[in-house]
Chain A
């Protein structure tokens, strides 16, 4: 009888100690574990690939723009047409264009801008936002109606603002 009493007392004390420790750390520990795991489990950011994907989507859209060069767009491939339009004929492949763009962002000539170089993760996220913009434009049919210049301006401006902000936000992020 005495033993049962002592054991149950021990169990109660241990349970109380345990539950207090657990409850003290629960929300902070679970936050820490979750963030660490997500960070470790994510793939290495690859802005180059994201850039290529986003530029590919942009190509699919601007090839349909009402002010496209009808001659060139019939002769050149989608890739050549898009990159030529973006670089005024200097380059012709997505990868070359992306490499140059990313280098310009990461190693700016302006010394003041060097402190504001975004990280790879943010770059990748921004490019993904652009891809979403272009895919949506394709899906809703804006490509046939809006001029090229305006399409591009929006793709780095108000068209992607809320998406980029979501990339930056520490809390309350959108699901996708």
Chain B
């Protein structure tokens, strides 16, 4: 292992040495504008002092001045006038930023070109992450968006390892399903925020300005999420040309941004390529049963301001992920399910990708009104390649849409601001490629491993379903002094199934000024819903065309105390009730229809009780409380920062179906009798597969001096539940060509014993990561070298269990699945923490 490490470091060291030469310190330069809303113009020739650096500047004819601060953070700007001193506080988040300091109080319009982007945002269940805080957080393997996992209520299920592997880089927010969140980049949809490795995001770090995470009751302008909303805001402007390149063991990324057309426009482009499988993967250190992803992504943004009132922008985002994985079989022992999923040893090579194009026109006629029109073309893609035995299914599923969206914000009066919007989309769900089907439908014990005379064959499953969708929302923001009341409503309509959903929501908050730096109490609730646009459930051929929206009712409330300028405490209690959840339903049918098996259209074209496969029977709930203690950096000083986030939660689900598992009589029934029983659901609540009782994150960062920074992160969480394997099928399948026997795991079908679904947990998961950064500053920019050691205590965390299909069930099969973050060369007992080395060059 040591020799391996030296080998890797060797090459990197050479590269670093190549670049080493001494340069001078480079601070964070930015541009600021002193702007008066009343006059709708910049204030010329005023003196401005930045208190922390004690440097003074004079504004030009348009109110601009260029300044420098030692590092990103919050600063106090004092505007020195004859009539007195005006003090304003503003944060500088990154190099080359343009910030605006408003000298009078008028409500901010949304999206105007001079606005930095500090929107009037809700305090309930929202966490704003500043880019500079999470940019160099340890344990994130160089990926800023990964820092979200340390916020309360957010759990990122491990991609690598056993247990539930269907999340694929998603997030579980307050006990909601991992595919029920909405990810937005500048209000444009993105399919997923993280690449397959749950480590790297699809957006280049340096093009992110802020990330807002709404974990509970969110405002009406966001759609289609019963979980949470993650809104990424991108940088909108820059003072001078900038570029950067980052290289690490896991990926490479590059960024370039520049003002164009004499400052009237802005262009930015960024890209990432992941090569985890070629670096660490090829060293043979990754535990058995895990495969590695390959991915790439790009983002391009172009902004042009015709005049201060009219702005257009164009954004393009793409991402592409592929991987090969070894999945254990689906942990539901239900013979009415698809026969494919009960056969273990399935190998899935899958990929997902998306492309988003957005063309936006913003009109800001004055300070009270702002309207935005956006034309969006979005295409999410999922590629699946399932291989079991000798049979392969290879298909592509897409759900593209083209839509036009309008958002306006209007300050009606001093105490009222109205936000409203509409959207219309034309969308479709399509599948193209080959699925697997049994050759002879009357063969009731097909052998998927028979390669000489296969019982399965490829069947074309191409299909397309089209529809349209429209929505409208409106939020009224009342503010009476320190009291804020924000009722809102949203209505969504899907033309295809003629289904609509109306969701009212409201937020109330009150701030007590006298208590320390401000004590705010807040509360809110609302009805939220989600339509499964990208799900087989809506397919006309293989799904249920009448499927309805999934719904959630959320409640939350809490207290936030800003104790000092640096310390803040926030605690929140939440409850979520889910209903109309989409479940696989083996009973739901319509009176008659075309035979789903197209091969039988000659002999049996029409069937009765034509299956619909999915229904909205599921329900569930989640509740818990959160605690968040944060210490921010005191600007201008080499101080430490960090936070502690703790979440206690419980989450349950119920399929609300008839299950023969709960039926004490196991006698065979006719179809008629089974259908009658299906009208009387008997399933009970089962703990949610991503239920995490305790989730604790402690983050600490300290910029020692200009050259060095150190950070640490400790995570502790309860393990997620999994379904234990209780036996095997006796090796009933065997491949006749090579006489290889396959043993498939079996699971308990008795809900009254303690082996049933989601009844086990491994030991709690704990991990301590540190990161060490060195900065080398030059005239042209700076270089940042970092070393990250993950799982420094080398704790052998386990994630679910792994069953080897080539052996029967025994004391050693299944074994707990090792966590990804511990390197073990095969054959030796040696283990080492996971490590990452990287370099970022900014110029």
Interface, chain A (partner B; CB < 8 A): 19-20, 23-24, 26-28, 30-32, 34-36, 38-39, 42, 115-119, 121-122, 125, 161-162, 165-175
Contacts and interface: CB of A to CB of B under 8 A. Distances in A.
A169 B671 contact: yes
Given A23-B499, A27-B590, A172-B597, 8 more contacts: A23-B548, A27-B612, A35-B679, A119-B669, A122-B673, A168-B669, A174-B608, A175-B606
B93 interface: no
B645 to A, nearest CB: 38
A171 B611 contact: yes
Nearest to A39: B676
B670 A119 contact: yes
Given A20-B500, A125-B670, A170 B336 contact: yes
Contact of A27 (B544, B666, B668, B669): B544
A170 to B, nearest CB: 5
B242 to A, nearest CB: 52
B214 to A, nearest CB: 26
24 contacts: A23-B499, A23-B548, A30-B590, A35-B676, A36-B679, A39-B672, A39-B676, A116-B666, A118-B668, A119-B673, A122-B668, A165-B444, A167-B670, A168-B671, A169-B609, A170-B609, A170-B671, A171-B589, A171-B610, A172-B597, A172-B609, A173-B609, A174-B604, A174-B608
B588 A34 contact: no
B207 to A, nearest CB: 42
Contacts of A162: 441-442
Nearest to A168: B671
Interface centre among B665, B675, B678 (most CB of A within 10 A): B675
Nearest to A34: B591
Contacts of B607: 172-175
B548 A165 contact: no
Interface string B659-685: 000000111111111111011000000
A20 B497 CA distance: 12
A125 B616 CA distance: 32
Nearest to A126: B670
A117 B675 CA distance: 19
A135 B352 CA distance: 54
A28 B609 CA distance: 13
A42 B502 CA distance: 41
A92 to B, nearest CB: 31
Nearest to B443: A161
B9 interface: no
Contacts of B441: 162
3 closest residue pairs by CB, A with B? A171-B611, A27-B546, A121-B670
Nearest to A35: B675
B498 A23 contact: yes
A117 B667 CA distance: 6
Contact of B672 (A27, A42, A175): A42
Contacts of B606: 175
B587 interface: yes
Given A23-B500, A165-B442, A122 B670 contact: yes
A168 B336 CA distance: 11
A32 B608 contact: no
Contacts of B587: 170-171
Contacts of A19: 498, 500
B610 to A, nearest CB: 6
A172 B679 contact: no
Task: Name the prevailing secondary structure of the A interface residues.
Answer: helix
Contacts of B667: 115-119
Contacts of A35: 675-676, 678-679
B604 A28 contact: no
B615 interface: yes
Interface of B: 336, 441-442, 444, 497-500, 502, 544, 546, 548, 586-591, 595-597, 604, 606-612, 615-617, 665-676, 678-679
B335 to A, nearest CB: 11
Contacts of A168: 668-671, 674
Nearest to B672: A121
A170 B544 contact: no
B671 A24 contact: no
A171 B586 contact: yes
Given A23-B498, A23-B499, A161-B442, A167 B590 contact: no
B678 A170 contact: yes
Contacts of A118: 667-669
Interface centre among A19, A31, A34, A175 (most CB of B within 10 A): A31
Contact of A167 (B596, B611, B671): B671
A34 B676 CA distance: 10
Given A23-B499, A119-B668, A170-B671, A28 B615 contact: yes
Interface centre among B544, B587, B667, B672 (most CB of A within 10 A): B672
B739 to A, nearest CB: 27
A42 B497 CA distance: 32
Given A20-B500, A119-B673, A162-B442, A27 B588 contact: yes
Interface centre among B441, B499, B595, B666 (most CB of A within 10 A): B499
Contacts of B588: 27-28, 31
Nearest to A32: B679
Nearest to A27: B546
A3 B546 CA distance: 37
A173 to B, nearest CB: 5
Contacts of B672: 38-39, 42, 121
Contacts of B615: 27-28
Interface centre among A19, A39, A122 (most CB of B within 10 A): A122
A23 B5 CA distance: 63
Contacts of B668: 116, 118-119, 122, 168
Contacts of B617: 28
Contacts of B597: 172
Contacts of A125: 670
A28 B177 CA distance: 24
A121 B677 CA distance: 14
Nearest to B607: A172
Nearest to B610: A172
A104 to B, nearest CB: 16
B590 A122 contact: no
A160 B812 CA distance: 44
B608 A161 contact: no
A39 B671 CA distance: 11
Contacts of B666: 115-116
Contacts of B498: 19, 23
A29 B89 CA distance: 59
Contacts of A30: 590
Given A20-B500, A31-B589, A116-B666, A172 B596 contact: yes
Contacts of A23: 497-500, 548
A45 to B, nearest CB: 8
A28 B544 CA distance: 11
A162 B443 CA distance: 9
Interface centre among B502, B587, B606, B667 (most CB of A within 10 A): B667
Contacts of A42: 672
Contacts of A172: 589, 595-597, 607, 609-611
